[in-house]
Amino acid sequence: MPTLDRITTGGGDKGETSLVDGSRVAKCSPRVCAYGTVDELNSIVGLVRCEELPEGLHEKICLIQSQLFDLGSELATPPAAKSQKQGWGISQKHIEQLEQWLQQTNEKLEPAPTFVLPGGSRGAALLHQARTVTRRTERQVVALHQSEEVEPLCMRYLNRLSDLFFVWARLCNDEGRSDLLWERQG
């Protein structure tokens, strides 16, 4: 009989998964939905890294991917098990870094005359996708926060991150000059 690899445990075959502390929860629980959406976001950010991007963005995006992994770990840890955290998680320092990058990028961009549509370059389109999945992730974390304790920095981080992805998308569109702009129809 063939053996299963170490990824396949069979533990989730009945619709449950383990959190960081070993407790079992339904795969559709708000906590699992929140950190699962962080994982989805991280995968999209990985696609962004495959693109040609303005100078310095690859390194910043690589840092964000590690931070997203930390965020997912934070969300996969129930409040009663916070003592099991080993120095990972989102901190005020992470938020301040995003705000600094936002300010630096905004200084390069002219204000958009109207709403910006997703698209333009492939890198910009992927950053817009990352932005929208960040917003969905934020909604999942807020939903979790309504029923369980969530570190407030997690929500602040996601809010800043979606803004950052928006300005980086504009940066990828020739510093906003190649943005696709919304035009009222009818």
pLDDT of res. 83 = 60
pLDDT in tens, 75-93: 999 887 776 556 678 999 9
Q: What domains lie within the chain, and their CATH numbers?
A: 16-78+89-111+142-175 (1.20.1200.10)
Instruction: List, for residues 112-121, the tens digit of each pLDDT value.
Output: 999 999 999 9
Taking the chain (186 residues) in runs of 10, the rounded mean pLDDT of each run is 60 73 84 96 98 96 97 89 69 97 96 93 97 98 95 96 98 92 88
d(CA 127, CA 129): 5
Q: What pTM does this model have?
A: 0.90
- Per the CB < 8 A criterion, the answer to whether 63 and 166 are in contact is no
Calculate the CA dihedral of residues 38, 144, 15, 46 and round it to 10 degrees: 0
Residue with tokens 């905004």: 106
- The residue behind tokens 């120095």 is 87
Q: Residue 120, class by beta-carbon neighbours within 10 Å (0-12 exposed, 13-18 middle, 19+ buried)?
A: buried
